[in-house]
Structure 1
Amino acid sequence: MALSAYANSAWYLRADINKAKTIPAPTMIIYRYIAYQVLIGFMIATSVLLPLFSFFDLLDQLDDVGRGTYRVKDAFLYTAMLLPRRFIQIAPFIALLGTVVALGKLAVNSELIAMRVAGLSPLRISLAPLGVGIVLLLSVAILDQFVAAQLQQKAITYRAIALEQSAELGKTLGIWTRNEQNILRIGHMSHAKRAVDIEILQLDQEGFLLTHTLAQYADIIDDDIWELSNVVVRTFKDDQISATRFNTLNWNSFLNPEDILTLTKPPESLSPLELVRHVEFLRSTGQDADSYALALWRKVGSALMTVAMLLLSIPFVFGSIRTGLSNKLVFAALIGIAVYLLDQIIANAGLILRLNPAFIALVPGLFMIILANVWLRRTF
């Protein structure tokens, strides 16, 4: 009888163990719940910050309404096309405010206290927001490479076409680039395959001017062949200048159409891969690539800043559970604004002082990570 009872109890014990295996671990349930709340917090922060920044963009565009064919609907369309880029730019502050909203709500409802009583340390609780932050970083990277850059470039082109009928848009300055022996100026691009108002200065090995070519426009036939039209070529030789006119003249260009389009775009509008290629092109031709290199490194710096904001948001909540959620949000917003302004100042000052672009872009994020780490250690 005793042996039979022992066998029955062992069978029931094994059945209970097998049944328990099908139930998710309590810790994982809590992590999923926190991650869900943080995701909701990110959505709330996005719904507040993105319209606010877009409103400022719209106000800026409304100043140009009435010039050329630029109308109110064009200003709204331009602003809408910039939404992915603005989301990428404010992602660190979405991470900060979103996490403070989520964890602050849990703290106000005493759910964080219950989690800590259940045996979860603050550091373990913070793993869930960090996991959601990694998802945010991956989303930003994909958005930057495949969506934001393309939409922003289309927005810039769309706006330029609408304004060009009554504004010069810097045509007198043009687009300048060079390689080892040629300096090229393009007045403007009428479309992807036609460059207008062309100047080409050909130099010898010692840097002296050999020829100066002026063309009314150029049709880009192939990646390295341009057909110049209404051309005047001035040759400098033995202290004499001779001029020759051509109806058309083929020129072997050192630029392909993709390089030209890149030259006409602001650095911040380029995708990471476009920036890498363009920085290599500028450096290979002996040109200043600092502004484009800075734009590339700032994308890495933005990822570091996002991590820093996530880390910084955790002691906001755990360090002051009794403080109201509104006070936390105001304090977090003030820190976010201060960090944003400081980052802009450092970037512009570093570019003027010609500091290393990687140093300029990475220092703010690394500094904030160190600061957040110190605060976390003091809090916990």
Structure 2
Amino acid sequence: MTIINRYLAFQIVMGLGIATVILLPLFGFLDLLDQLGDVGKGTYQVKDAFLNTALLLPRRFIQLAPFIVLLGNVVALGRLAVGSELTALRVAGLSPTRISLAPLAVGLVLLLVTMVLDQFVAPQLQQKAISSRAVALEKSAALGKQLGIWTRNKRNILRIGEMLHAGKAADVELMHFDDNGFLLTYTYAKYAVFIDGDLWEFNDVTTKTFTGNQIESASTNSMQWKSFLNPDDISTLTKPPESLSPIELFLHVRFLRATGQEADAYALALWRKVGGALTTIAMLLLSIPFVFGSVRAGLANRLVVASMLGISVYLFDQIIANVGLLWHLNPALTALLPGLVLIALASFWLRRIF
């Protein structure tokens, strides 16, 4: 029985490898085309496009994992079915449930690998690609076009117009309010340098103080300000939500909600990581009836149907995510719904076949 388990696991790993070799270069090539569109802007060169595409591959692999699982298992089990090996295993006394344990086990290992990549590898490489591309294109990371980076706590609103690099910002505005929400001071700094921890130094500063019906204005070359943000917070604010690790997303969502800010985009990105795991499990379950439920179908037909299902799932997931963000639906429900629906569908299909 151990020999059969190893053989099945080997075939599943081969199938996953084939699906990875097909899907990852394909989507990597599409990413490369997008990167090549910026060649010639600023100091961005062809080698930068190839390097950034390579840095984005771990993130792309994580995104493709559910579809790699689906196609890989269909390829592996389909090859066994075409070669009558599944029939031989059934004659030898192995039930479909027993045979299905091998793809489930290998798929769960792949899921664990993607979780490790998502926490420790993909975010760092993706952020490096975003940062190097922005520097080469002479662009700064911002939350909105020409709007800068906005954040706040209970009594302060901070706007950073442009991040020049990790330790320096330009076009900085700070608004300080009293407990009743009335504006006390407005400070504008042409530049802000992050000295140490949460201590900032403003340069070329203009400060306006509001007292009653009077406004007093003063200018100074520099001043220090103890920020409510630390360098990690600033770094997180300049990164797209999908490029953050699960722990970074969790901490940032908690920070945004604690300071009364909109956190839906980051909360949705966090829950979509959980939703991606559910979708991977669903694809594992769906790949089994594709083979056992289509005995007369050839491998090519199975792959075509599986590919159409994968595309449909991807489009459904994207539509649900964007609608949920637009309509301010519950992020957890929005992110988990596609995976839960697919698991229910797979369970129903499996019960009918087995």
Does residue 1:199 correspond to 2:173, yes or no?
Answer: yes
Supply the distance in 1 between the matched residues of 2:106 and 2:144 (Cα, whole angstroms): 44
Mapping for residues 265-344 of structure 1, pairs under 5 Å: 265-344=239-318
TM-score of the superposed pair, with normalisation by structure 2: 0.97
Mapping for residues 146-225 of structure 1, pairs under 5 Å: 146-164=120-138, 172-225=146-199
Whether the aligned pair in 1 keeps the contact of 2:140 and 2:163 (CA below 8 Å) is no
Mapping for residues 14-53 of structure 1, pairs under 5 Å: 27-53=1-27
In the alignment, residue 149 of structure 1 is paired with which amino acid?
A: P
1:172, distance to aligned residue in structure 2 (A): 3.0
Whether the aligned pair in 1 keeps the contact of 2:73 and 2:103 (CA below 8 Å) is yes
Whether the aligned pair in 2 keeps the contact of 1:68 and 1:166 (CA below 8 Å) is no
Which deviates further from its counterpart, 55-64 or 104-113? 55-64
Which deviates further from its counterpart, 317-326 or 84-93? 317-326
Does residue 1:349 correspond to 2:344, yes or no?
Answer: no
Structure 2 counterpart of 1:19: none
Mapping for residues 23-102 of structure 1, pairs under 5 Å: 27-102=1-76
Supply the distance in 2 between the matched residues of 1:355 and 1:316 (Cα, whole angstroms): 34
Supply the distance in 1 between the matched residues of 2:254 and 2:150 (Cα, whole angstroms): 17
Structure 1 counterpart of 2:107: 133
Supply the distance in 2 between the matched residues of 1:109 and 1:126 (Cα, whole angstroms): 17
In the alignment, residue 257 of structure 2 is paired with which amino acid?
A: R
1:158, distance to aligned residue in structure 2 (A): 0.4
Does residue 1:370 correspond to 2:340, yes or no?
Answer: no
Supply the distance in 2 between the matched residues of 1:254 and 1:362 (Cα, whole angstroms): 34
Gaps of 5+ in 1: 1-26
Supply the distance in 2 between the matched residues of 1:192 and 1:158 (Cα, whole angstroms): 12
Supply the distance in 2 between the matched residues of 1:206 and 1:61 (Cα, whole angstroms): 49
1:76, distance to aligned residue in structure 2 (A): 1.2
Question: Which digits, 9 at most, give the CA deviation of each residue in 1:42-101, with x for residues without a partner?
Answer: 010000001111111111122211111112211111111100000000000000000000
Structure 2 counterpart of 1:23: none
1:170, distance to aligned residue in structure 2 (A): 6.2
Supply the distance in 2 between the matched residues of 1:359 and 1:283 (Cα, whole angstroms): 18
Structure 2 counterpart of 1:238: 212
Supply the distance in 1 between the matched residues of 2:142 and 2:171 (Cα, whole angstroms): 13
Whether the aligned pair in 1 keeps the contact of 2:272 and 2:335 (CA below 8 Å) is yes
Supply the distance in 1 between the matched residues of 2:329 and 2:130 (Cα, whole angstroms): 29
Question: Which digits, 9 at most, give the CA deviation of each residue in 1:159-190, with x for residues without a partner?
Answer: 00010179999673111111111000111222
Does residue 1:112 correspond to 2:112, yes or no?
Answer: no
Supply the distance in 2 between the matched residues of 1:337 and 1:256 (Cα, whole angstroms): 42
1:342, distance to aligned residue in structure 2 (A): 0.4
In the alignment, residue 256 of structure 1 is paired with which amino acid?
A: N
Flag the 1:61–1:169 CA change in 2: closer, same or farther, 3 A: farther
1:28, distance to aligned residue in structure 2 (A): 2.2
Structure 2 counterpart of 1:359: 333
Whether the aligned pair in 2 keeps the contact of 1:275 and 1:292 (CA below 8 Å) is yes
Which deviates further from its counterpart, 51-60 or 147-156? 51-60
In the alignment, residue 115 of structure 1 is paired with which amino acid?
A: L
Supply the distance in 2 between the matched residues of 1:350 and 1:165 (Cα, whole angstroms): 30
In the alignment, residue 363 of structure 1 is paired with which amino acid?
A: L
Residue 197 of structure 1 aligns to a residue in which SS?
A: strand
TM-score of the superposed pair, with normalisation by structure 1: 0.91
1:225, distance to aligned residue in structure 2 (A): 1.1
Q: State the identity %.
A: 68
Question: Which digits, 9 at most, give the CA deviation of each residue in 1:124-164, with x for residues without a partner?
Answer: 11011010011101100111111100000000000000101
Flag the 1:168–1:361 CA change in 2: closer, same or farther, 3 A: closer
Structure 2 counterpart of 1:20: none
Whether the aligned pair in 1 keeps the contact of 2:55 and 2:126 (CA below 8 Å) is yes
Structure 2 counterpart of 1:257: 231
Supply the distance in 2 between the matched residues of 1:222 and 1:285 (Cα, whole angstroms): 22
Whether the aligned pair in 2 keeps the contact of 1:220 and 1:226 (CA below 8 Å) is yes
How many residues in Structure 1 have an aligned counterpart in Structure 2? 354
Which deviates further from its counterpart, 67-76 or 364-373? 67-76
Whether the aligned pair in 2 keeps the contact of 1:219 and 1:228 (CA below 8 Å) is yes
Residue 196 of structure 2 aligns to a residue in which SS?
A: coil
Flag the 1:166–1:184 CA change in 2: closer, same or farther, 3 A: closer
Supply the distance in 2 between the matched residues of 1:101 and 1:72 (Cα, whole angstroms): 36
Supply the distance in 2 between the matched residues of 1:195 and 1:258 (Cα, whole angstroms): 14
Residue 117 of structure 2 aligns to a residue in which SS?
A: helix
Supply the distance in 2 between the matched residues of 1:345 and 1:143 (Cα, whole angstroms): 26
